[in-house]
């Protein structure tokens, strides 16, 4: 009897072990996600990643290249049971690439996203190499206003950039303030400055709902008279700068954020859904040689909005032979997102259409969550990495699709961002004292491939 019980217990143990083994074989491991780099110093940093259900351990690789062909000793293959790890005794001022995968006995997940990290340099002076001298396959633009076309601004503009955009002085509320009265005073000054200094002008922006004069919003005539007024405005403006302005954002931000539908504006209400098409056609009639762009925000990461732009504007225009030369991605982004891969993927959706791509309003917030009271070296390095990623993406697109990469403001204390988000940020390539920041170096590094 005892022998039978022993056999039964042994059989039960084997059965349970078999169930465990079978269950382990059925388990799948998802890839971790590296979501934070912290404690960044000259020779060390800490990486955190998401915990993976059923994972017993994690394997990490550290390399000096994105392909992980140049692994860094002794971090060729590190195994840890934690969901964070601190790398130490690293080279100063070096860019590293990190990836991690989950493990369960013999099973492993795929590797995580690759995360780039640049260690600090204790006392480094950022190089002052002019951006336009290195960006030989596309224009480097700067947004400005007339009262900054002098002094140190002027010196830096002429040294660094070969294209300028009016931050606000070439919009309808400035150029057409009253019915029947145009005022091109400021726009003329900006165009003259560009011509005197061998720069191109990108016109921004003919139609934008947020820069519409009150008399247009409350237009008292018929819908037909409203359309005639808009036609006169576009043709008058574009004709005035024919041969002087190489490109225009004809319509700005006409697609909403909710579902990629037409934004409800006075132009949509008075002219119907084909108002965008009409504006582009009128601009082309006024200047057959200038480049015509549609421009909008969040397109580098928001697939829904981008699909709305593609279906309602890009595909619609190309099917119906409506003039459209390119699309502008505004590139108001943050140090921690969107990812390089997301930007590249969305950019390709435009370049695959055979259109020019304009990264039109680049700035990179380092304080989007208002967790800083002053800029930190760690965030400045993260900002540098993000700028480098953006430039790498742009530099890698087909040359036939390259137009310009425009930075939206020269120095931090002139950015539009703090006043809009209600707290401090330092999103540009120069600080308030005109000192070159690490973000500027990130731009240069992005052009090295």
Distance, CA of 442 to CA of 126 (rounded, Å):
10
- Provide the β-strand partners of residue 411: 430
Q: Which of 253, 281, 380, 389 is catalytic?
A: 253
Phi-psi region of 93 (alpha: psi -120 to 50; beta: other; left: phi over 0): left
Percent of the chain with pLDDT over 90: 81
pTM, two decimals, is: 0.78
Question: Please, what is the average pLDDT of the chain?
Answer: 92
* DSSP output for 231-267: HHHHHHHHHHTTTT--EEEEEES-B-TTTSPBP--HH
Q: Which tens digits make up the pLDDT trace of 174-192?
A: 999 999 999 999 999 999 9
Q: Which of 361, 380, 389, 392 is catalytic?
A: 361
Beta strands in 88-162 (DSSP E): 95-104, 107-108, 115-118, 139-144
Residue 209 has pLDDT above 80, yes or no: yes
Q: Is 378 a catalytic residue?
A: no
Q: Are 87 and 78 in contact (CB under 8 A)?
A: no
Question: Residue 67 pLDDT more than 70?
Answer: yes
Q: What is each CA distance from 206 to 87, 140, 249, 295, 393, in whole angstroms?
A: 51, 21, 6, 11, 28
3-state secondary structure 34-85: EEEEECCCCCCEEEEECCCCCCCEEEEEEECCCCCCCECCCCCCEEECCCEE
Rounded distance between C-alpha atoms, residue 182 and residue 205, angstroms: 16
The first and second tokens of residue 19, run together, are 């169930």
In this model, does residue 446 exceed pLDDT 90?
A: yes
| CB-CB contact of 402 with 447 (8 Å) | no
pLDDT exceeds 70 at position 449: no
The dihedral through the CA atoms of 323, 252, 353, 317 has a sign that is: negative
State residue 132's pLDDT score.
97
Contact criterion met (CB below 8 Å) for 407 and 362: yes
> 270 near 226, Cβ under 8 Å?
yes
Q: Across the strands, what pairs with 363?
A: 332
Strands 356-365 and 34-38: unpaired
DSSP state of 347: H
**pLDDT-above-70 percentage for the chain:** 92
pLDDT in tens, 219-242: 999 999 999 999 999 999 999 999
Contact between 384 and 392 under an 8 Å Cβ cutoff? The reply is no
Q: What is the mean pLDDT of residues 246-260?
A: 95
The pLDDT confidence band at residue 17, using thresholds 50, 70 and 90, is low
- Please state which of the ranges 117-121, 129-133, 291-295 shows the lowest mean pLDDT: 117-121
Q: Look at residue 281 and tell me whether its pLDDT is greater than 70.
A: yes
Phi, then psi, of 246 in degrees rounded to 5: -80, -20
Helices (H), 290-333: 303-309, 316-319
pLDDT for 3 equals 55
Q: According to the model, what pLDDT value does residue 308 have?
A: 97
DSSP β-ladder status, 326-329 and 332-334: unpaired
Q: Is 361 considered catalytic here?
A: yes
- The larger pLDDT score, comparing residue 25 to residue 112, is at 112
pLDDT at 15: 52
Structure tokens at 162: 């070969």
Q: How many residues are present in the chain?
A: 449
Please report the pLDDT score of residue 49 as a whole number.
Answer: 86
Residue 292 predicted with pLDDT over 90: yes
Q: What is the pLDDT of residues 392-422, one digit of tens each?
A: 999 999 999 999 999 999 999 999 999 999 9
Spatial distance between the Cα atoms of 295 and 293, rounded to a whole number of angstroms: 6
pLDDT band at 1 (very low <50, low <70, confident <90, very high): low
In whole angstroms, what is the distance from residue 407 CA to residue 361 CA?
5
Q: Residue 338 to residues 65, 151, 302, 390, 403: CA-CA distances in angstroms?
A: 21, 35, 10, 10, 22
Q: Who's near 259: CB < 8 A, 6+ residues apart?
A: 304, 308
Structure confidence at residue 112 (pLDDT): 83
DSSP state at residue 146: G
Residue 6's pLDDT band, with cuts at 50, 70 and 90, is very low
Report the pLDDT value the prediction gives residue 13, as an integer from 0 to 100. 47
| 39 has a pLDDT exceeding 50 | yes
Q: What is the pLDDT of residues 378-388, one digit of tens each?
A: 999 999 999 99
Structure tokens at 183: 């005022």
């Amino acid at each position: 009897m005892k022998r039978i019980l022993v056999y039964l217990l042994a059989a039960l143990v084997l059965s349970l072990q078999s169930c465990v083994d079978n269950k382990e074989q059925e388990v799948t491991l998802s890839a971790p996600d590296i979501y934070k780099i912290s404690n960044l110093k000259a020779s060390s940093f800490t990486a955190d990643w998401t915990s993976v259900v059923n994972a017993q351990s994690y394997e990490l690789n550290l390399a000096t290249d994105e392909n992980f062909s140049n692994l860094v000793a002794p971090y060729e293959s590190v195994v840890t049971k934690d969901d964070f790890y601190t790398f130490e005794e690293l080279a100063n001022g070096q860019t590293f690439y990190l990836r991690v995968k989950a493990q369960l006995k013999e099973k492993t997940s795929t590797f995580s996203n690759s995360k780039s990290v640049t260690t600090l340099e204790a006392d480094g002076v950022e190089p002052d190499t002019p951006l336009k001298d290195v960006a030989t396959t596309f224009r480097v633009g700067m947004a400005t206003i007339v009262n900054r076309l002098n002094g140190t601004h002027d010196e830096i503009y002429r040294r660094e950039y070969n294209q300028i955009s009016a931050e606000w002085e070439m919009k309808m509320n400035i150029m057409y303030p009253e019915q029947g009265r145009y005022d091109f005073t400021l726009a003329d000054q900006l165009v003259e400055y560009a011509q005197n200094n061998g720069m191109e002008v990108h016109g921004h922006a003919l139609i934008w709902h947020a820069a519409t004069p009150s008399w247009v919003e409350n237009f008292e005539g018929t819908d037909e008279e409203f359309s005639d007024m808009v036609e006169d405005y576009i043709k008058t403006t574009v004709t005035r700068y024919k041969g002087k302005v190489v490109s225009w954002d004809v319509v700005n931000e006409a697609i909403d954020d909710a579902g990629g539908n037409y934004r409800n504006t006075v132009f949509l209400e008075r002219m119907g859904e084909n108002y965008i098409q009409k504006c582009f056609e009128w601009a082309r009639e006024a200047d057959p040689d200038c480049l015509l762009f549609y421009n909008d925000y969040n397109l580098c990461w928001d697939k829904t909005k981008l699909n709305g732009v593609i279906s309602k504007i890009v595909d619609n225009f190309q099917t119906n032979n409506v003039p459209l030369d390119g699309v502008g991605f505004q590139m108001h982004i943050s140090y921690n997102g969107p990812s390089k891969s997301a930007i590249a993927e969305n950019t390709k959706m435009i370049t695959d259409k055979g259109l020019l791509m304009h990264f039109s309003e680049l700035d990179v917030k380092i304080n989007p969550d208002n967790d800083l009271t002053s800029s930190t070296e760690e965030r400045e390095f993260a900002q540098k990495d993000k700028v480098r990623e953006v430039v790498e993406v742009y530099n890698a697109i087909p040359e036939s699709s390259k137009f310009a990469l425009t930075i939206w403001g020269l120095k931090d204390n002139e950015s539009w961002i703090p006043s809009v988000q209600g707290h401090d940020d330092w999103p540009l390539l120069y600080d308030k004292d005109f000192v070159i920041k690490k973000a500027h170096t990130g731009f240069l590094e992005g052009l090295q491939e």
